[in-house]
Amino acid sequence: MLNWKDIATRVEAGERLSADDALTLWRDAPLWHLGMLATARKRAVSGDKVYYNRNFHIEPTNLCVFNCKFCSYRRPKGSPEAWDMTAEQIDEKVRGYVGRGVTEVHIVGGVHPEHDIYYYCDMIRRVKAILPEAAVKAFTAIELSYMIRKAGLAVDEGLRLLIEAGMNAVPGGGAEIFDEEIRARICPDKGSTAEWFEVHRAAHEAGIKSNATMLYGHVESVEHRIDHMLRLRGLQDETGGFNAFIPLKYRNFGNSMSEIGEVAVTDDLRTLAMSRLLLDNVPHIKAYWVMYGKQTTEMALAFGADDIDGTIDDSTKIYSMAGADDARPRMSVDEMREMAARAGFRAVERDTLYNEL
């Protein structure tokens, strides 16, 4: 059995981590050492840069056919807190960003029981008509799988329609945790791990880049997190289609697993560093500031993260409803530059595909 120091030496030599080595490193290496290893890897990929973009979210509805136990956002039909935006409301929101330098519109919401793929193609076309210069990063694999199957289409046919309508990238949500037993405990009726992978593989084969998330800090173990990352590393070896990995810390306010506490910040930092080391073929590790809060995000930059997501402009409710620090999340470009500089890096604006602007 190798000890953590032997494994750290192997990492420094550029060797790939096995599941067993990753477990030893995760459990035994001191936090500062993981930060050092992950920062060296981060620097090899993106030097002194920390990426951000100018983006906003559209969350068309919080009605959802699924009932995930960790979700604080879903409301049942008829609830006074349920919403389902009309096309005109979406247009109005998008028009508010004309001339403001936004390069990405992130569209994710509940899996609405009635809206089909043609409704979502129309939504993308309308967004593009108002903001033609912005990329549309739209719909989690679970939303995509549902809307495509509802139309009786094969996954590649459905993706083709969405791409023709203007979809440019697929966000990383809906991954939760890939281990089937844990998934069955936290989101028993949700689209499966196999469905998530089917959609991402098909997107990559169609030339569309995507992200991948991992919801951690609930009932899973470190072994499950390692398994999750290794499944992603496997697909990435085949397709190269993932741009970024985004670990999402379970926030426990207002959902049906609230009795589970939130994990410590040290666990967040360890998870970020280990994702940088395990996912040696995924270029970017995103510390999603809306979910971590601004202070942890700054620390994340010393643990392998090279991306903090974007300006957001108070356009997402998923995390404020789950108890995140900022009830109305927004971050100016100046604030992002200052954060990167305090962490010893240089903020660089990127577009959705990581072209520098």
Name which of 158 and 171 has its Cβ closer to ligand V47: 171
Name which of 42 and 137 has its Cβ closer to ligand V47: 137
Residues that bind ligand V47 in the complex, under the rule CB under 6 A: 70-72, 108, 140, 171-174, 176, 211, 213, 215, 246, 248, 250-251, 255, 288, 309, 318, 322
Half-sphere exposure of 4 (CA within 13 A, CB side): 14
Q: How far is the CB of 70 from ligand V47 (least distance, A)?
A: 5
Q: How far is the CB of 42 from ligand V47 (least distance, A)?
A: 18
CA–CA dist 83, 90 (Å, integer): 12
Identify any residues that bridge with 310 across adjacent strands, giving them in sequence order: 53
> CA quadruple 231, 237, 240, 243: dihedral positive or negative?
positive
Q: How far is the CB of 279 from ligand V47 (least distance, A)?
A: 15
Q: How far is the CB of 348 from ligand V47 (least distance, A)?
A: 17
In terms of Cα–Cα distance, which of 82, 21, 66, 312 is closest to 195?
Answer: 66
CA–CA dist 300, 281 (Å, integer): 19
Name which of 37 and 233 has its Cβ closer to ligand V47: 233
Q: How far is the CB of 221 from ligand V47 (least distance, A)?
A: 18
DSSP class of residue 218 equals: S
Name which of 25 and 120 has its Cβ closer to ligand V47: 120
Name which of 25 and 322 has its Cβ closer to ligand V47: 322
DSSP class of residue 345 equals: -
DSSP class of residue 301 equals: T
Identify any residues that bridge with 56 across adjacent strands, giving them in sequence order: 105
Name which of 25 and 148 has its Cβ closer to ligand V47: 148
| Per-residue tokens: 151 | 């139309």
Q: How far is the CB of 172 from ligand V47 (least distance, A)?
A: 4
Q: How far is the CB of 255 from ligand V47 (least distance, A)?
A: 5
| Per-residue tokens: 133 | 């210069």
| Per-residue tokens: 296 | 């942890």
Residue nearest to ligand V47 (CB): 173
Name which of 71 and 339 has its Cβ closer to ligand V47: 71
CA–CA dist 82, 16 (Å, integer): 46
CA–CA dist 23, 225 (Å, integer): 10
